[in-house]
Structure 1
Amino acid sequence: MHWEEEAYSRTDKDGNPVSFVEYEKQALGKKLGGFMTGGDLMLYSITGVGFFLDSYDLFIINLMSPIWAYEYWNGHYPPLLRGAVNAASNIGNIIGQLSFGFLGDAFGRKFVYGKELIICIIGTILVISLPNSIPTPTLKMIWIFCFRLLMGIGIGGDYPMSASIVSERSHLHTRGRLLAWIFSNQGWGTLTGSVATIIILSCFRKSIKEEGHYNELDAVWRIQMGIALVPAFATLIPRLRMPEGRKYVESRALNTPASPVSNVHHERASTDPETNAIQNIPGLASTSDSTIPKPQKLTDLPAIPLNITDLEKLDPLTSRKAKLNAFFVYFSEWRHLKTLIGTASCWFLLDVAFYGTNLNQSVLLADIGYSTGKTHFDVLMRNAIGNLIIAVSGYVPGYFFTIFLVEKMGRKWIQIQGFLVCALMFAILAGGYTKLSTGGKFACFAIAQFFFNFGPNATTFIIPAEVYPSRVRGFAHGFSAAVGKLGAILSALLFNYLSGSTVIGLANVLWIFFACNMLGALSTWFLIPETKGRDADVVDFREWQEAAGEKVSKK
């Protein structure tokens, strides 16, 4: 595709390799309206819709659960069963994030991209196809649980694949902004879920509220879920047609037995006995320890003049084992493992609080006295309006602050300040829960939502997409996201149980959220590097050069 080759190959118009600095200058001068390049816009349209879909599917459950409670349980939806159904897609996320992240690194982005969307589409169709002939509410919820789990596998697969593709096709000095733009579609997905629910309920107002036909709530939730199929089908074909990225292929070449970096790691460096130079990468001039470039800064390192066709020849069956072991070889070094622990732990701590709040926002609105009404219909409408207000006042604006400031403030500081402000809001809510007014509690939740998204909810996605080299990025990002989803599952399963007055109560659950945010700030400070202006593939290649030079000099 023209947009991919023009925007992301590190060569000039004559096909000659250019330095990263010169490449960035040329690319940044091609912005449409001073905002995005043509390639950025195409990338946004393909991957951004996926995150819109992800968010809509994941958070619409918050608005569907009260409907199921009235339709199937007469308002008494068992807490543990409700938690399990809420957690189903997050359980599937873990499977999808790990499997698609691994497959994307081992076999290529092109090989797997779009397949995750097919799984998501199938899962969604099966959820809304719930047979009314199933005899009991519990069995109905088991059906929904199983196919929301399947849908979640597809959603989970989108995280590492879209993150890797965007990172590998973005320009260094706008990469964080574009990743934030892509991820901000979660905000639009959540907002759309609230608006769609209000519109759908309004359409059924007469039959449900005035005529008392509450059985028509069955149509309401099926339409709510089915709307997600529209962006899914719109995105499917472009994803299946997306070509392999040059940067991924170049980075993957370093995993093969024929490449120096693999040989260095396994202490089998192949050298020319006369020139003492590293061999084996087609298109790469031999380099000895005396000719290894010594740039003043990483972005000055010249581009690697690799030919994509030649590199694809480095992908025989004999190289498969090396590719599959690349993740473990790379993270056998403590400096890399420490970063992985940091990205995974921060994502876990965030999701305990973030999903504990968002998957149960309807419960929180009811508990603080906002979702009230004379009829079930009134309660459902107030609940949808409350979710909409929080999305408009806090959830969506937070993403846009990240978009505009991520390249100025850096990822690390945005993540730390977000954790700290959210911790403050949960401390205020927990400490003054019996004294705060409904308006005060509502404001604290809205502020927390703002700083989740102008903070760790955005940056825990951005940082793993930037800090790891392309050859391990998919699985490393998927692993970090999967550990995060463990936190989401814990919240989904335990929130309704623990928040009950007979256990520890909602105020003490909010103290748990406070502790998670404080620990997240500390983990960010000590374990995660700043990724602003950092090209992980250049760093990775530079580490190989240094290791190769040391190895060759010893020989």
Structure 2
Amino acid sequence: MEKKPLGVLAALDAAKTQWYHFTAVVIAGMGFFTDAYDLFCISLVTKLLGRIYYTDPTSPKPGSLPPNVAAAVNGVALCGTLVGQLFFGWLGDKLGRKKVYGMTLAIMVFCSIASGLSFGQTATGVISTLCFFRFWLGFGIGGDYPLSATIMSEYANKKTRGAFIAAVFAMQGFGILAGGIVALIVSAAFDHAFHAPPYAVDRLASLPPQADYVWRIILMFGAIPAALTYYWRMKMPETARYTALVAKNEKQANEDMAKVMDFKPDEAQEQEKVKTNTASNQFGLFTREFLKRHGLHLLGTTSTWFLLDIAYYSQNLFQKDIFTAIKWIPPAATMNGIHEVFKVARAQTIIALCGTVPGYWVTVALIDWMGRKKIQLVGFIGMTVFMFALAIPYHHWTLEGNHVWFLVFYGLTFFFANFGPNATTFIVPAEIFPARLRSTCHGISAAAGKAGAIVGAFGFLYASQSTDPAKVDKGYSTGIGMKWSLIVMGFINLVGFCFTFLVPESNGKSLEELSGENEAEEEAKGGRDVSPV
């Protein structure tokens, strides 16, 4: 029997942009705002943690986190995120998107507060507690990736679906920016209030006891946007595509969508269409039929996200080390600990304003015009070019007077990451897989990305370590490790460009057309095209 599109799904695909679309962007996007804040705010305070807990009282130099401790503090949330993406992605397909959507926020609120309250009698105790709560914070963050992407893709119409999913993800840029702004405000307030002298003037007074409040307040602030969003997230109805195609109750899907959107599907023979559309398309994940239809697609989404995040998270988590290496942030011994937080936050805020945030919103503006694949290809090439431009003449950039151009090129790598694969790797997995596997496959793709982030977080930390003790004593890296780290990341981006050709173009097509859930109809029209190239 020929399959026909369900009335509610056809109505959603053709629906005009309405107020609820924007409401859904804000509700889902605030989760990503919180995700980005929580993941990246740790990089603002790691130098302060080193001063507070690892300064040797007998040494004239400020302390820093040992490499293994720094790797754990920066990377443990990413490990939790990976686990959360797999778990909540699977759960979202089993129980429905809405039922598990609030769980992620509740975990994030609790663990953000708990991270700031990390306790212990020793440095090891405090850092261990911090890592424990940040793992579970990452677990909650991980759930937001597949659920937010899937929910937005299933609400949107096919004409502007890319822009709406990209807008949800673009809130990540505002989260990164907010992290810098909050750190600026908190550090400036404490620095002004307690008048801590430069480190070289008075080693002990340069880190007053109040410095311990600074990093805790910055980490706990992430609970506020998550808590404010919880009520509205619980008010969202289940998506019509899940209710109709997975739960097989189109009547309920119609009722749910009618509460929030203005559309009138043709309800004639809808239950018969549900039976027809779902009966012959029930292959499971990693079955032979799934691999035949979507195996290359899943390889494309996982590989590109993995490769992108190696470079992207290395850049984000270790901006402070790069800025110190090019001498844009003064040596630690010349300033007090709170003022160092201010300097790091200022640098990261400038990069976010000039490169990170604009890249996200250029994607929102152009994605439904250019298409996903073109933007991803352009992004990978842009990142490759500018990383090589930073790395090859690296010693030139460390000279006084050349810092501005380094920052311009460095900001452009973030621009092309976000006007490129950092956005598209999030969007495409939410579009090309069947409804009953959509959240799971997005979770797998996102988890592959976090595996890349973990490689980047741990690998970059060790690869960029200085090998010149004399310059380490002065607070600088030689740039040998940093230079080759940037070159490696450039080549990784080039490989990501190649793997992009495995990903299908999803622009302008319905979700059912892309996933094959109405393939009989498409065959009657002359065939279904979801080929990788």
Q: TM-score, length-normalised on structure 2?
A: 0.82
- Correspondence 1:223 to 2:181: no
- Post-superposition Cα deviations, 1:22-62, rounded to whole Å, max 9, x if no partner, equal 7655x32xx4xxxxx11112201210110000000011011
Q: Which residue of 2 aligns with 1:96?
A: 84
CA distance in 1, matches of 2:213, 2:292: 54
CA distance in 2, matches of 1:309, 1:193: 51
Q: Which residue of 1 aligns with 2:297?
A: 339
Instruction: Within 5 Å, give how 1:305-316 maps onto structure 2.
Output: none
User: Does the 8 A contact of 1:164 with 1:465 survive in 2?
Assistant: yes
Greater mean deviation of Cα atoms: 493-502 or 92-101: 493-502
Aligned alpha-carbon RMSD (Å)? 2.9
CA distance in 2, matches of 1:356, 1:175: 30
Matched residue type, 1:514: G
User: Does the 8 A contact of 1:130 with 1:143 survive in 2?
Assistant: yes
Q: Which residue of 2 aligns with 1:474?
A: 439
- Correspondence 1:534 to 2:509: yes
User: Does the 8 A contact of 1:88 with 1:149 survive in 2?
Assistant: yes
CA distance in 2, matches of 1:421, 1:463: 20
- Correspondence 1:387 to 2:353: no
CA distance in 1, matches of 2:108, 2:244: 30
What's the offset of the Cα at 1:186?
A: 0.5
What's the offset of the Cα at 1:521?
A: 0.6
Instruction: Within 5 Å, give how 1:251-270 maps onto structure 2.
Output: 251-252=245-246
Q: Which residue of 1 aligns with 2:143?
A: 157
Q: Which residue of 2 aligns with 1:465?
A: 430
- Post-superposition Cα deviations, 1:298-330, rounded to whole Å, max 9, x if no partner, equal xxxx98967589979x99xxx9xx98x732348
- Correspondence 1:242 to 2:236: yes
User: Does the 8 A contact of 2:177 with 2:349 survive in 1?
Assistant: yes
Candidates 377, 382, 386, aligned match of 1:421: 382
Q: Relative to 1, partners in 2 of residues 1:304 and 1:450: Cα closer, same or farther, differing over 3 Å?
A: farther
- Post-superposition Cα deviations, 1:143-183, rounded to whole Å, max 9, x if no partner, equal 11111000000000000001000000001111100111111
- Correspondence 1:143 to 2:129: yes
Candidates 200, 223, 232, aligned match of 2:226: 232
Q: Which residue of 1 aligns with 2:46?
A: 65
What's the offset of the Cα at 1:382?
A: 1.8
Structure 2, unpaired ranges of 5+: 56-62, 198-204, 253-264, 469-479, 525-533
Instruction: Within 5 Å, give how 1:357-396 maps onto structure 2.
Output: 357-372=315-330, 374-376=334-336, 377-396=338-357
Q: Relative to 1, partners in 2 of residues 1:282 and 1:154: Cα closer, same or farther, differing over 3 Å?
A: closer
User: Does the 8 A contact of 1:433 with 1:507 survive in 2?
Assistant: yes
Instruction: Within 5 Å, give how 1:175-190 maps onto structure 2.
Output: 175-190=161-176
CA distance in 1, matches of 2:91, 2:132: 24
Greater mean deviation of Cα atoms: 153-162 or 67-76: 67-76
Structure 1, unpaired ranges of 5+: 1-9, 12-16, 32-36, 257-280, 284-301, 549-555
User: Does the 8 A contact of 1:394 with 1:447 survive in 2?
Assistant: yes
Greater mean deviation of Cα atoms: 461-470 or 147-156: 461-470
CA distance in 2, matches of 1:128, 1:468: 39
Matched residue type, 1:207: F
Q: Which residue of 2 aligns with 1:214?
A: 208
Q: Which residue of 2 aligns with 1:296?
A: none
CA distance in 2, matches of 1:307, 1:477: 29
Matched residue type, 1:218: D
Matched residue type, 1:39: Y
CA distance in 2, matches of 1:214, 1:340: 52
- Correspondence 1:42 to 2:20: no
Q: Relative to 1, partners in 2 of residues 1:420 and 1:76: Cα closer, same or farther, differing over 3 Å?
A: same
- Correspondence 1:514 to 2:490: yes
Q: Which residue of 2 aligns with 1:117?
A: 105
Candidates 63, 66, 71, aligned match of 1:83: 71
Matched residue type, 1:47: A
User: Does the 8 A contact of 2:429 with 2:438 survive in 1?
Assistant: yes
What's the offset of the Cα at 1:425?
A: 0.9
SS in structure 1 at match of 2:290: coil
- Post-superposition Cα deviations, 1:500-529, rounded to whole Å, max 9, x if no partner, equal 1339711111111001100111100x2011
- Post-superposition Cα deviations, 1:247-283, rounded to whole Å, max 9, x if no partner, equal 12222258x9xxxxxxxxxxxxxxxxxxxxxxxx999
Q: Which residue of 1 aligns with 2:372?
A: 411
What's the offset of the Cα at 1:341?
A: 0.4
Q: TM-score, length-normalised on structure 1?
A: 0.79
Q: Relative to 1, partners in 2 of residues 1:19 and 1:546: Cα closer, same or farther, differing over 3 Å?
A: closer
Matched residue type, 2:194: S
CA distance in 2, matches of 1:63, 1:282: 50
Matched residue type, 1:469: P
CA distance in 2, matches of 1:486, 1:43: 29
What's the offset of the Cα at 1:337?
A: 0.5
Greater mean deviation of Cα atoms: 333-342 or 162-171: 333-342
Q: Relative to 1, partners in 2 of residues 1:508 and 1:305: Cα closer, same or farther, differing over 3 Å?
A: farther
Greater mean deviation of Cα atoms: 134-143 or 487-496: 134-143
CA distance in 1, matches of 2:405, 2:88: 43
Q: Which residue of 2 aligns with 1:14?
A: none
Q: Which residue of 2 aligns with 1:266?
A: none
User: Does the 8 A contact of 1:72 with 1:137 survive in 2?
Assistant: yes
- Correspondence 1:443 to 2:373: no
CA distance in 1, matches of 2:115, 2:20: 36
What's the offset of the Cα at 1:130?
A: 1.2
Q: How many residues end up aligned between the 2 structures? A: 472
Q: Relative to 1, partners in 2 of residues 1:444 and 1:122: Cα closer, same or farther, differing over 3 Å?
A: same
Seq. identity, %: 36
User: Does the 8 A contact of 2:162 with 2:367 survive in 1?
Assistant: yes
Q: Which residue of 2 aligns with 1:349?
A: 307
Q: Relative to 1, partners in 2 of residues 1:100 and 1:547: Cα closer, same or farther, differing over 3 Å?
A: farther
